[in-house]
Structure 1
Amino acid sequence: MDKRLQRLRAADRVSAPMVIQALLPTMTVQTGDRVLGRDAALTAGFGRTVTGQQLAVLGVDRGVDIQSRREKNGGALTVPGYRTALRVIKHAAKFGWPVVSLINMPGADASPESERHGQSQAIADMIAAMGQLTVPNLVVFLGEGHSGGALAFANANRIIMLDDALFNVASPEAVTAILHGQQTVSDAIDLLPMTADALQARGLVDQIIAHDQADLITVINQTIERQLAPLQSLTATELIAQRERKFRQFLDSWPVN
């Protein structure tokens, strides 16, 4: 396995639950979509930071050992996960609370069961709702975030990535498979703009955080509050327009061959 992927998928990698615990000392957790149940990979709810900022948070986590990774489906969210997240952001919009997403996931669950329960519709609903949020939203890529499963959380005013994180339409392994093995996994990572540096150069990523800092969780949480601050004064119309402009500019930067 590529050394970059080994580091991203290591058991001691900083996780969404770790960041949320430090960000929100007290939190009201929301579990389940009230139809199919809960998704163990999702940590979602509301709380107040030590500085007094009320937030809604959505964290997707792979797990740290065999048992937890099995329980969390390796971070591949199922329909209940997306529907629970959607319920949380609707509450956030109602009460005027910014939404923070923390992502480390391979993508959405692609099992026949998820497809039967409307996985593609659940993802589409989440992407649309994030885009039309009338409150600020921000996403932090702590590790990997691939496919529409991750994009559902990334339709955001601010995108932050750890310097070794990845965000792409497909995982490196999937890209290699699509190219019928013509590229190695390492080459696939460099072939497309999925690294933090490449995405920042195209204007999609707003800030990069070094992953090897001793006080990484503190830095992440300080960055979240700092990036949210200027968004608080924007109107709902301005927030929606800013998200659309970000992704349109990214598409415009794509070379046409």
Structure 2
Amino acid sequence: MDKRLQRLRAADRISAPTIIQALLPTMTQQRGDRLLGQDAALTAGFGRTATGRQLAVLGVDRGVDIASRRRKNGGALTVPGYRTALRVVTHAAKFGWPVVSLINMPGADASPQSERYGQSQAIADLIAATGQLTVPNVVVFLGEGHSGGALAFANANRIIMLDDALFNVASPEAVTAILHGQQTSSDAIDLLPMTASALQSRGLVDLVIDHQDQTLVAAINQAIETQLAALEALPAPDLIEQREAKFQHFLQSWPVN
């Protein structure tokens, strides 16, 4: 496996629950979608930061050992996860609370069961809801985030990435498979604009944070607060327009040079 992927998937990788615990000293969790149950990979709920800002948070986590990774399905969210996230986003819009998402996931669960319960519709509903949010939303890529499964959270006003994180339409392994093995996983990372630096150069990513920062948790939370402070004065129509403009600008950067 490519060393970059090994680092991203290491057991001691900074996790969404760790960031959320530091960001929100007090938090009320949202558990389940009231239909299919709870997705263990998703930490979702509401709380108040140390500065007094009320937030809604969504965190996707792979797990840290074999047992937790099995329980969390390696971070591949299922239908209950997306529907729970949608509940949180809907409540946030109702009460005027910004939404912060923290992502490290391979993509959405692609099992027959998830497809049977409407996985594609659940993802589409969350993409639509985040795009039309009347409150600011910020996403932070702590590790990997691939496919529509990650895009559902990344339809955001501000995108922050750790400098070694990845965000793409498919995982490096999937890109390699699509190209019938013509490229290695390492080559795939460099072939497409999935790294933080490449995405920032195309205007999609707003801020890149050094993953080796000795105060990484504090640096991430400070970046979140700073980005939200810059967005909170914008009216709802401007927030919606800004999200669309961000992705339209990115599309204009294609084809990849």
- TM interval, shorter chain, is over 0.9
Counterpart of 1:81 in structure 2 is 81
* Map 1:206-225 → 2, pairs under 5 A: 206-225=206-225
Q: Percent same amino acid at aligned positions?
A: 83
How many angstroms apart in 2 are the aligned matches of 1:18 and 1:195?
23
Corresponding residue SS for 2:129: helix
* Map 1:1-257 → 2, pairs under 5 A: 1-255=1-255
How many angstroms apart in 2 are the aligned matches of 1:190 and 1:209?
19
How many angstroms apart in 1 are the aligned matches of 2:252 and 2:14?
33
Amino acid at match of 2:146: H
How many angstroms apart in 2 are the aligned matches of 1:238 and 1:214?
36
Amino acid at match of 1:211: H
Q: Describe the superposition over 1:170-212 as per-residue Cα deviations: whole angstroms up to 9, x where unpaired.
A: 0000000000000011000000000000000000000000000
Q: Describe the superposition over 1:29-73 as per-residue Cα deviations: whole angstroms up to 9, x where unpaired.
A: 001000000000000000000000000000000000000000000
- Tell me the CA shift for residue 149 of structure 1: 0.2
Corresponding residue SS for 2:232: helix
How many angstroms apart in 1 are the aligned matches of 2:26 and 2:211?
26
How many angstroms apart in 2 are the aligned matches of 1:235 and 1:213?
34
How many angstroms apart in 1 are the aligned matches of 2:7 and 2:233?
38
Amino acid at match of 1:112: P
Q: Could you list the runs of 5+ residues in structure 1 that have no partner in the other structure?
A: none
Per the normalisation by structure 2, the TM-score is 0.99
Amino acid at match of 1:154: A
- Tell me the CA shift for residue 151 of structure 1: 0.2
Shift >2 Å, 4+ stretches: none
How many angstroms apart in 2 are the aligned matches of 1:256 and 1:129?
29
- Tell me the CA shift for residue 214 of structure 1: 1.2
- Tell me the CA shift for residue 255 of structure 1: 2.3
How many angstroms apart in 2 are the aligned matches of 1:229 and 1:137?
11
How many angstroms apart in 2 are the aligned matches of 1:2 and 1:205?
23
How many angstroms apart in 1 are the aligned matches of 2:221 and 2:53?
12
Residue pair 2:107, 2:150 contacting (<8 A) in 1 also: yes
How many angstroms apart in 2 are the aligned matches of 1:56 and 1:129?
14
How many angstroms apart in 2 are the aligned matches of 1:234 and 1:50?
23
The number of equivalent residue pairs is 257
- Tell me the CA shift for residue 121 of structure 1: 0.1
Q: Describe the superposition over 1:114-151 as per-residue Cα deviations: whole angstroms up to 9, x where unpaired.
A: 00000000000000000000000000000000000000
Corresponding residue SS for 1:170: coil
Q: Could you list the runs of 5+ residues in structure 2 that have no partner in the other structure?
A: none
Please provide the CA RMSD for this pair: 0.8
Amino acid at match of 1:15: S
Amino acid at match of 1:244: E
Q: Taking structure 1 as reference, are residues 122 and 64 closer, same or farther at Cα in structure 2, changes over 3 Å only?
A: same
How many angstroms apart in 2 are the aligned matches of 1:56 and 1:143?
21
